[in-house]
Amino acid sequence: MPDLEGVKIAKDYHVDIPFANTKSFYVKGANNLDWGMKRHLANIFSPVSGNTVMFAFDHGYFMGSTAGLERLDLVVPNLSDYVDVLMGTRGALRACVPPDIRKGIALRVSSGSSMLNDDLSHEVLAVDIQDAIRMNADCMAVQVFIGADGQLASIDNLSRCINAGLSYSIPTMGVVAVGKDMERTDSYFKLATRIIAEMGVNIIKTYYCDNFEEVVAACPVPIVVAGGKKLPEQEALQMAYLSIQHGANGVDMGRNIFQSYHATAMAAAIGKIVHEKFTDKQAYEFYLDTINEKK
């Protein structure tokens, strides 16, 4: 490990130059992966747009019953037509989602905290690779707590998941945690996403921030943006638009979909931004037209 003396601040991101190594496969950083890994990534990222809309409903793994997810058996199948990937726990998927659903699966495999804990940064790798294979997961999602007390354990969880995923050709998605003590600045997200990417993940989920294009430029694998707490629909669509405009390969939204009064219209509007180059304003008009048509 290099000494930290005289560490220079990175500054040359060449944000105007697209990622260079895209010779044989359209997903960023996946050129040298095997066929099975590429197959799973193609189940996640559209070969046309290169992007994805993930619907996250894994909140229960530490929040219990969340507003808008009281009935997973009703909410998830109702929204699945409007998204590309379902992100959930094995318990939710097995119990509430029909196995004939033809969507990508992002399987939440780390857990260990609850809303009763002050420090949420201590997790374990709760789902083994055998069950990820049984569930035909297209990626395994591991929370990583850079800068928190649980940092080392979360990197150990991530590394073991990546090692097993490489052995059985299932991609790993590193999820950047932003607990209350972690800042949502571009410098934090540049540090966290780069550390996680260097560990060998195939996808990173993080949050939108200022200078996001530099976060993307410095990250050699695709980034999907988490929605975070519920915003007014227009603001959530603007965040999705800015994320895509600044280089994200998709979004992984939960509350901004399932806590919307018109969840299916919201998911469809997000898809217009992610896959059809809609602006946030065009997507919001689409959203309003869709809900008015239903009246």
Active site positions, annotated:
205
175 counts as binding ligand 5RP under rule CB under 6 A: yes
By beta-carbon proximity to ligand 5RP, the closer residue of 35 and 261 is 261
Alpha helices (H) along the chain: 35-44, 60-63, 72-79, 90-96, 129-134, 151-168, 186-199, 212-217, 233-245, 255-258, 263-276, 280-293
83 counts as binding ligand 5RP under rule CB under 6 A: no
Q: Left if phi > 0, otherwise alpha if psi is -120 to 50, otherwise beta: which for 169?
A: left
Of 207-266, which residues contact ligand 5RP (CB under 6 A)? 226-228, 252-256
**CA 194 to each of CA 106, 146, 201, 276: distance values in angstroms, whole numbers, following the listed order:** 21, 11, 10, 29
164 counts as binding ligand 5RP under rule CB under 6 A: no
58 counts as binding ligand 5RP under rule CB under 6 A: yes
By beta-carbon proximity to ligand 5RP, the closer residue of 151 and 259 is 259
User: Minimal distance in Å, beta carbon 114 to ligand 5RP?
Assistant: 12
User: Minimal distance in Å, beta carbon 57 to ligand 5RP?
Assistant: 8
By beta-carbon proximity to ligand 5RP, the closer residue of 54 and 155 is 54
The set of residues, in sequence order, having a beta carbon less than 8 Å from that of 108 and lying 6+ positions away, is 58, 61, 87, 88, 89, 90, 127, 141
The three-point CA angle 224-189-56 to 5° equals: 30
What are the CB-based long-range contacts (under 8 Å, 24+) for 120-124? 120/62, 120/145, 120/177, 120/179, 121/145, 121/148, 121/149, 121/150, 121/151, 121/154, 121/177, 121/179, 122/149, 122/150, 122/153, 123/150, 123/153, 123/154, 123/157, 124/153, 124/157
Q: Which of 87, 93, 132, 144 binds ligand 5RP (CB under 6 A)?
A: 87
Count residues binding ligand 5RP (CB under 6 A): 13
User: Minimal distance in Å, beta carbon 240 to ligand 5RP?
Assistant: 11
Q: Which of 59, 90, 246, 272 binds ligand 5RP (CB under 6 A)?
A: 59
* Residue 291 per-residue DSSP state: H
56 counts as binding ligand 5RP under rule CB under 6 A: yes
d(CA 174, CA 165): 12
User: Minimal distance in Å, beta carbon 252 to ligand 5RP?
Assistant: 5
142 counts as binding ligand 5RP under rule CB under 6 A: no
- The per-residue DSSP string of 155-204 comes to HHHHHHHHHHHHHHT--EEEEE---TTS--SHHHHHHHHHHHHHHT-SEE
By beta-carbon proximity to ligand 5RP, the closer residue of 26 and 61 is 61
| Segment near ligand 5RP (CB under 6 A); pick from 14-22, 52-60, 238-246, 263-271 | 52-60
| Segment near ligand 5RP (CB under 6 A); pick from 56-64, 160-168, 235-243, 284-292 | 56-64
User: Minimal distance in Å, beta carbon 175 to ligand 5RP?
Assistant: 5
Of 91-130, which residues contact ligand 5RP (CB under 6 A)? none
User: Minimal distance in Å, beta carbon 211 to ligand 5RP?
Assistant: 21
Residues binding ligand 5RP (CB under 6 A) = 56, 58-59, 87, 175, 226-228, 252-256
